[in-house]
Amino acid sequence: MSKKIFSGVQPTGNLHLGNYLGAIKNFVELQNDKENQCIYCVVDLHSITVKQDAKILKRNIRETTATFIASGLNPENSIIFNQSTVSAHAEVAWILGCVSRMGWLSRMTQFKEKAGKDKEKASVGLYVYPVLMAADILLYDATHVPVGEDQKQHLELCRDIAQKFNNDFNAPNFLKVPEPLIQKQFSRIMSLKDGLKKMSKSDPSDLSRINLTDDKDLIINKIKKSKTDTLPMPGINDDLKKRPEVQNLLGIYSNLSNQSIDKVKDEFQGKNFSIFKDKLSELLVDKIDPIGKRIKDLLKDENYLDKILAKGSQKANNLATKKINEIKTLVGF
């Protein structure tokens, strides 16, 4: 069955292995199925929910676009654009914000994590972020949304918002209720320094993540310094629940080498951790270094990246205008 795919990535810099394995790698696989219609968005409106420097944001929008292309997205086959150039996203977010309930939003764990202890100081934008995300998806009648596991709750909220809108305006199936596409295994890549924290762009320690632009030496160094424990490499029957760092590294290996975790355990059982780390570094350098080099090359041609975004924006605007006009009619504007 053909799918309508929508997903986004925030241009907040330091795109990392978690973004790649949890989301972008999947974007490319979906695009390569010719039956699918794919829309991939650089969600710059989302990024300003925390303060950004204007010049750095501009650069990060291009860098995220370059990352999409370097990872294998093709602007001829997928619509690639940045969110702020299609004003319907913000307009629909307002309308959906009036349908959404405070109680729903206050249950969102990502807001709690990102706002930290001092919620009073978090932006209102950060609080209503999931409503904008719902607008992004519903505006294009997306049937499937590839995201990392951390976005599952927001996707569930998006489904609730779509259903409530359809009920409130007596328009059955008008907003399409989307399905999340979350990889079954290792959909959450964890920090290299703390196996209980997700790998994240905003972690103050650069050693916690593999950035997609890290070069060979940096990758090797970060894996060497990654946290493990004092126990030997696990065997097939060893439970990894109490060894989150080891589980994470094995998961990354299994994902990149397209092998089951049992196969990886079997290969390294009883061996020294340093042997495993060397092999993991080799695999990472092999997969990530070419992407990083391509990102750096693409960034030298800003004009090319801007043209991709402008073309994508035109296509996205055509689709969004039609839908927002229907939404406005239903609402009574």
Catalytic annotation, residues = 114, 198, 201
Shortest Cβ 195–ligand AQP spacing (Å): 12
Asked if 23 is part of the footprint of ligand AQP (rule: CB under 6 A), the reply reads yes
170 secondary structure, DSSP code: T
Which class for 72: exposed (0-12), middle (13-18), buried (19 or more C-beta within 10 A)?
middle
Buried b or exposed e, range 169-200, using 16+ CB within 10 angstroms? beeeebbbebebbbbeebbbbbbbbbbeebbb
Cβ distance 212 to 15 under 8 Å?
A: yes
* Nearer residue to ligand AQP within complex by CB, 54 or 332: 54
Shortest Cβ 155–ligand AQP spacing (Å): 10
* Nearer residue to ligand AQP within complex by CB, 21 or 308: 21
Asked if 213 is part of the footprint of ligand AQP (rule: CB under 6 A), the reply reads no
Asked if 222 is part of the footprint of ligand AQP (rule: CB under 6 A), the reply reads no
* Nearer residue to ligand AQP within complex by CB, 99 or 199: 199
Asked if 200 is part of the footprint of ligand AQP (rule: CB under 6 A), the reply reads yes
Neighbours of 146 (CB within 10 A): 23
Shortest Cβ 53–ligand AQP spacing (Å): 14
Buried b or exposed e, range 306-324, using 16+ CB within 10 angstroms? eebbeebbebbeebbeebb
Closest-approach residue to ligand AQP (CB):
22
Picking from 150, 97, 79, the residue whose alpha carbon sits closest to that of residue 320 is: 79
Site size toward ligand AQP, by CB under 6 A: 19
Asked if 199 is part of the footprint of ligand AQP (rule: CB under 6 A), the reply reads yes
Contacts with ligand AQP, residue ranges (CB under 6 A): 9-10, 12, 18-19, 22-23, 147-148, 150-151, 187-189, 198-202
